[in-house]
Structures are given as structure tokens and as C-alpha cells.
Amino acid sequence: MQHVDLRNIKINQIQIFLEAVNCGSFSGAAEALHVTQPMVSKTIQALEKELGIILFIRSKGKLNLTPAGRDCYNQWSNMLKYLEASVESAHAIQEGASSRLHIGAGSMAIEAGKFFPLLKDFKEQQPVNLYVECHAMTQLITELQDDKYDAIFISKHLLDSIESRGLKWKKIQETFLAIFVPWDNPLSDRDELSFADLKKESFIAFSVDTDPLYLDLLNRLAGEAGFIPKIACYIPNEESFEVNLMLNNGVALIDSMVMISEAIAKMFPLKGLRNDSILVWKEGNASPALKQFLKYLDKHLPE
């Protein structure tokens, strides 16, 4: 194997290589990085020469990674992520924060219930840089497994779709399932609803990509009530429930904690159908900030 003096490899060379892969062309990388295409091409050539590795196969204007190039891409992508994280951590320490806590949560659920007040109070008490990102549930689960987050805030029913091995969870709040009915729908005049009352209704439903167990739950509840649910539309995120309820496109089965404006729909709790909100993290992978937060939760949440 050829000896490579890594002191001759510069971070900007690696960044240009990664950008070329992400863009699929040298011209795309040049535009993204605000440099010239010849500069990108020369940088890649110099990197290949220094490493003694052919990174790309160039043919008919197409840019394809060699197997060795693909391996470099995967390894270097992770290396730069760790480097960026270390710089962020160093800034946090310099600015007086002892550590960094990164949490993923559903985009509307984070606004309701106990979780946000707990996060806010924890941040005020502890010297921690706290960041929250809101995405679809399945994306949160994938990115937790890829170590993007320290922990994620999701509905407990989703635990069945996750490899339970290596994961730990803590109940944050007891919640329940509910039916949301637009005010234009005659059912909104009732005081109570059961699933049997929804036989003629169409449902606004999460897509499988957003929540892989949602349709199983909806079909089970409808089946117990003696009907097959009609789906008006499949939606990719929680915000879409509110828009489609506003358009009177159907009724919706949602966790009661998700904030739907009372001006748009009436909420009918489904008695006995719990759907607790939980915090999930990887066992043995808790950061110092997450350990602090878990201790805080132990003190501030009832058993």
C-alpha cells in the first residue's frame, strides 16, 4: 500500500470532494461553493494524486464514484460531522455552557403539553446549549438511530416500529387518542362520539412513511366498530391535519396533545385509548447533557 502523508491533505480538499459527490458534478460543486469549475477539478486531481486513489470514473459527462471513492465519501462524511460537532461543543464550553443537548420532536406536539415547559425550565437552570428540531416521526426515529439526536419525543405506540434493543424510554405525559371533527360537519353538534359513529365519514390519515403504525391503529379501531375506514387523503406531517380539517376534507384520529385550533375542529376524546408521549434515547449512548436532563425529569415528573 502506498504511504500517504496525511499532513498534506487539507480539509477544504475533502469538503470539495464531498460537495462534488453530493452535487453529482464538478460544475454543481463549483456553483454551490462559489468557486470555479477548474478549481474544483484541479483540487480533486491533486487529492487523488496525493492519496494514490482514483475517486471518480469520468465518462460522457457523468461523475461516478469508484468503490474506493465511495468508501472515502462515507468515512469522510462522518469525520466532518464529528469535526463540526466538536467545534460546536468547544464553542458551547467557551460560552459557558457545559454541554449540548439535541432533541427531535413532532412539529406540533412540541408546542403542547408538558414537554416544552420542561425543556425551557431545564435550560434556564442548567448551563446547556439546547436545540430542538421538528420533523415527521419516522424521520426522527431514523435520525436517532443515526446518532443525529441525543433523544426524540414521540408517541408511545411507535415503539413497536423501532428495534427495541438498545433503546430506553421515559413517559413524559399521559395522553389519549381523540377524533377531531370540522365544525362544518354535523357530528360536531354532538356531545360525545364513538368510533361506531364514524362509519360514513372519511378520514384524514398519516401516510405510512410518516407513521408506519397509524393505519394499523385506524383499521383496528374501525374494525372493532364494524367498518372499514374510508381515507380522504394521506398527509406527510401534523400541520397537514389542521389544513385539511379546515377544508372539511374529513375527520381525523390524532393524539389529543397535538394542537388543533378550536376554531377549526371539535375534539372528541376516545375514552380508554391512551397514547402516551415519551422520550426515547439509545441505551449506553447518553451524552452528559442528556444525563442531566434525565435526572431533571426524575425530579419533576410524577412516577
CATH assignment at residue 288: 3.40.190.10
Quote the domain boundaries for residue 295.
Answer: 99-174+277-300
- Whether 243 and 294 share a structural domain: no
Residues 57 and 113 in one domain: no
Which pLDDT band, with edges at 50, 70 and 90, does 293 fall under?
A: very high
Would 1 be classed as within a structural domain? no
Give percent of the chain above pLDDT 90. Answer: 39
Quick one: pLDDT at residue 17?
A: 93
Instruction: Give the end of a domain, one of 67, 90, 113.
Output: 90
Model confidence band, residue 266 (pLDDT cutoffs 50, 70, 90)? very high
Average pLDDT, the chain: 86
Residue 62: give its domain's CATH number: 1.10.10.10
Band (268; pLDDT cuts 50, 70, 90): very high
Instruction: Give the pTM.
Output: 0.60
170 and 184 fall within a common domain: no
Considering its fold, how many domains does the chain have in total?
3
Q: Do 198 and 76 share a structural domain? A: no
Residue at 220 is within a domain: yes
User: What pLDDT score was predicted for residue 79?
Assistant: 85
Q: Do 224 and 259 lie in a common domain?
A: yes
Tell me what the mean pLDDT of segment 127-146 comes to. 82
CA 31-81-291 angle, 5° bins: 145
Report residue 228's pLDDT band, with 50, 70 and 90 as the boundaries.
very high
Give yes or no for residue 248 having a pLDDT over 90: yes
One domain, residues 80 and 103 = no
Residue 41, amino acid: S
Inter-axis angle of helices 26-33 and 37-51, to 10 degrees? Answer: 110
* Residue 218 clears pLDDT 70, i.e. is over it: yes
Q: 149 and 196 in one domain? A: no
Considering the domain boundaries, does residue 107 fall inside one? yes
pLDDT of residue 64: 87
What's the CA gap between 242 and 260, in Å, rounded?
Answer: 6
| Beta-bridge partners for 103 | 132, 151
Contacts of 247 (CB under 8 A, 6+ apart): none
Say if residue 158 is in the same domain as residue 73.
no
Q: Who wins on pLDDT, 70 or 259?
A: 70
